């Protein structure tokens, strides 16, 4: 008697690991096991019963072999950690420095061996300072910012190679992804005394002034369009490692609170500024932080409104496959 069954060892194909089948609880295999047990109770002749039992054993062996060779995850969850890089008015050359940090968590649903749909949540810390720029014009402007971006996105991904963790020759693939999402953005800076100040609420480009200005009011929310490239390697049927670069195009030019021109000092006078006197004084001090002692007049260039801000993350991470199924071969 094979442990865990009502089957005689002499009636069962010895190549079948019955306990393994029962533990896996695969529907097709369990169904075949049920047939095998039922055949033993039928009042059939010994020869006919032997033939039917042999066929049931052969079918079970074939199902087990097919499933073990075609191990495909239905979904995965993962986390990634890495760097963050900002591209905008305070990094006009597009340098990868300064380097900041990012983290993400995601759920990805597979639609086969090549296509996946991913829901991602990310935290991205961006920052830049004119003081780090060697170009005198930008250095003397003296502006800086930091921003803790909260991001949610939905994207589709495409594997260049068939990806089936646990199957020899199909455990590695490069991939690309394209999606759409939204971010929460609230740029801030620190005063000379070290106090943290939210810039969006100050209107540093005249957004809260009744005087003529080029600055545009902006909210905390913006859209993004992430483009990803990466590589994924399965180190077991359940565990993957990956490396990924994701570049985000955004609909905002105010991730850094810099976009157009200086509003001029009169924009922050009590008669023109739509805010408290304390708020107006703080906005005036932070809208022009030039280091060369030359006050920037209204209309002087402060940023470049022709290009939206962008940012990128470079991450490595782990992901875990679950809901796996032993499916027919996918081509």
User: Minimal CA–CA distance to 260: which of 209, 313, 317, 300?
Assistant: 300
* Percentage with pLDDT > 70 across the chain: 76
Domain that includes residue 28, residue range? 9-69
Q: Cα separation of 174 and 244, whole Å?
A: 10
User: Minimal CA–CA distance to 13: which of 25, 29, 28?
Assistant: 29
42 and 88 share one domain:
no
Residue 165's pLDDT is 86
pLDDT greater than 60 at residue 4: no
Residue 34's pLDDT is 59
Structure tokens at 218: 């902006």
In a domain, residue 3? The reply is: no
210 and 127 share one domain:
yes
- Label the pairing between strands 75-87 and 115-129: unpaired
pLDDT in tens, 96-127: 888 999 999 999 999 988 999 999 999 999 99
114 and 39 share one domain:
no
CATH of the domain at 149: 2.40.160.20
In a domain, residue 2? The reply is: no
Structure tokens at 104: 């993400």
In a domain, residue 36? The reply is: yes
Q: Which of 17, 52, 69 is the last residue in one of the domains? A: 69
Reported as a pLDDT band with limits 50, 70 and 90, residue 42 is: low
Q: Cα separation of 138 and 162, whole Å?
A: 49
Residue 200's pLDDT is 96
In a domain, residue 214? The reply is: yes
CB atoms within 10 A of CB 112: 13
The half-sphere exposure of 107 on its side-chain side, counting CA atoms within 13 A, is 4
Q: Cα separation of 284 and 205, whole Å?
A: 10
79 and 53 share one domain:
no
194 and 317 share one domain:
yes
The half-sphere exposure of 25 on its side-chain side, counting CA atoms within 13 A, is 3
Q: Cα separation of 212 and 258, whole Å?
A: 17
132 and 262 share one domain:
yes
In a domain, residue 330? The reply is: no
pLDDT in tens, 148-160: 999 999 999 999 9
Structure tokens at 55: 């066929």
232 and 90 share one domain:
yes
61 and 96 share one domain:
no
In a domain, residue 331? The reply is: no
64 and 90 share one domain:
no
Cis peptide before 98 (omega within 30 of 0): yes
In a domain, residue 4? The reply is: no
Q: Cα separation of 322 and 86, whole Å?
A: 35
27 and 122 share one domain:
no
Domain count, the chain: 2
Residue 327's pLDDT is 54
Residue pair 166/236 in contact by the 8 Å Cβ criterion: yes
Residue 218's pLDDT is 97
Residue pair 69/165 in contact by the 8 Å Cβ criterion: no
Residue pair 273/206 in contact by the 8 Å Cβ criterion: no
Q: Which of 69, 88, 111 is the last residue in one of the domains? A: 69
59 and 81 share one domain:
no
Q: Which of 21, 41, 69 is the last residue in one of the domains? A: 69
In a domain, residue 1? The reply is: no
53 and 28 share one domain:
yes
pLDDT greater than 60 at residue 52: no
What's the pTM value of the predicted model, to 2 decimals? 0.77
Q: Cα separation of 15 and 31, whole Å?
A: 18
Reported as a pLDDT band with limits 50, 70 and 90, residue 305 is: very high
Q: Tell me the residue length of the chain.
A: 331
Q: Cα separation of 234 and 161, whole Å?
A: 13
């Amino acid at each position: 008697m094979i442990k865990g069954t009502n089957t005689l060892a002499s009636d069962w194909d010895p190549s079948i690991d019955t306990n393994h089948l029962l533990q896996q609880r695969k529907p097709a295999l369990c169904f075949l096991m049920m047939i095998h047990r039922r055949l033993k109770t039928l009042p059939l002749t010994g020869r006919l019963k032997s033939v039917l039992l042999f066929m049931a054993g052969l079918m079970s062996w074939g199902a087990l072999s097919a499933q073990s060779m075609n191990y495909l995850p239905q979904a995965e969850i993962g986390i990634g950690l890495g760097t963050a890089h900002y591209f905008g008015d305070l990094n006009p050359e597009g340098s990868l420095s300064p380097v900041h940090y990012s983290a993400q968590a995601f759920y990805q649903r597979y639609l086969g061996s090549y296509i996946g749909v991913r829901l991602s949540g990310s935290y991205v810390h961006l920052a830049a300072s004119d003081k780090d720029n060697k170009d005198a014009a930008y250095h003397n402007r003296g502006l800086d910012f930091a921003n803790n971006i909260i991001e949610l996105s939905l994207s589709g991904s495409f594997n260049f190679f068939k990806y089936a963790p646990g199957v020899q020759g199909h455990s590695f693939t490069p991939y690309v992804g394209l999606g759409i999402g939204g971010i929460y953005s609230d740029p801030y800076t620190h005063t000379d005394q070290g106090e943290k100040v939210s810039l969006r609420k100050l209107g540093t480009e005249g957004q809260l002034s009744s005087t003529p200005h080029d600055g545009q009011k902006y909210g905390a929310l913006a859209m993004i369009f992430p483009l990803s490239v990466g590589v994924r390697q399965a180190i077991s049927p359940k565990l993957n490692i990956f490396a990924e670069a994701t570049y985000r195009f955004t609909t905002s030019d105010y991730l850094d609170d810099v976009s157009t021109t200086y509003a001029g000092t009169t924009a922050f006078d009590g008669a023109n500024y739509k805010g408290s006197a304390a708020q107006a004084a703080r906005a005036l001090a932070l809208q022009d932080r030039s280091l060369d002692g030359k006050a920037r007049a209204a209309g002087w260039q402060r940023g470049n409104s022709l290009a939206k801000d962008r940012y990128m993350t470079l991450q490595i991470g782990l992901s875990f496959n679950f809901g796996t199924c032993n499916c027919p071969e996918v081509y």
